[in-house]
Amino acid sequence: MNRNEQIVLVTGATGYIGSQVVRALHRALGDAVRIRALVRDSSNTALLEGLPVEFIRGDVMNPVSLRDACVSVDTVFHCAGLVAYTWNFRHRLYDINVTGTANIVNACLESGVRRMVHTSSVAAVGVRENGRPADEGTAFMDWQRRISYMESKHLAEMEARRGIAEGLDVVMVNPGVVIGRVGGPQTVTNSATETVAAIYRGTVPVYPSGGLSFVDIGDVARAHLAAWEHGERGERYIVVSENMSYSELFGMIRDLPGSSGRRAFEAGRPLSVLAGAGGELFSLFTGGKSHISLEGMRLARKKLYYSNARSVGSLGMRYRPVREIVASIACGGDKE
């Protein structure tokens, strides 16, 4: 099948990552492919406004709608997913991330979809101790199974691998902490980007003792296309720019022109537990997601670092430096 006949389906197409995958597809290929966007009845499609996209009503929790959406589709970009760390979201994490992935895998198999690009996460990858970067082959650890989000992304990958065993060509993209402003008619961020902006304003007085791997939202979208074009069946590709401790991140943001210049201090374990408990209570009583949780604060004491060697070597990825990303966030840039 040549490109002019290809139809691609994007799940989670109105979300932070999915919308940028749609935009990257349109920028790179124009009319060479037809893009279908799976949207729920409640979805806000503003991020896709003005793009030549075919909207298909459906939900990853509705297998019938997925089978209909996959008719004549060559490739599925499965970007739908939930990120949450508070305890009261644990069942929804399993439903959306695990059952939802199982449903789209089944729909792909039943409809003869050629390839699925699965948006996974470094959360599905194992962790090495003492700040040593993990890679795609690092084994998932027992303690990670007690972190609901990590476990859900790990099990989602197991569903993707089941699809491979049953004949589906699947490639997995594993981003780190994704940051950056995105937009169209309106600007959208995620919680990590909002945190960077708050640090710049000087409204975050403390930081945890651990560290994370960061990556620009634009690079994540491009990595999905690179994985589609060049990724090997059954492989993971870790998509990160740099590994950085929270202390280094706060210092970098504090040194940006126009920042508040306020110094933050490292939060000890008691304060971390107290903050996490507060986040859990907020989420429990409001029903909404909290940026702070007990699981999140537990992870924030670890250095969760990852190697991008495979995505650089095999996909040809080149990553935007973290300093450039946070500077753009601080000045309100990158609002396409």
**Residues labelled catalytic:** 153
Written as six digits, the tokens of 125 are: 């990858």
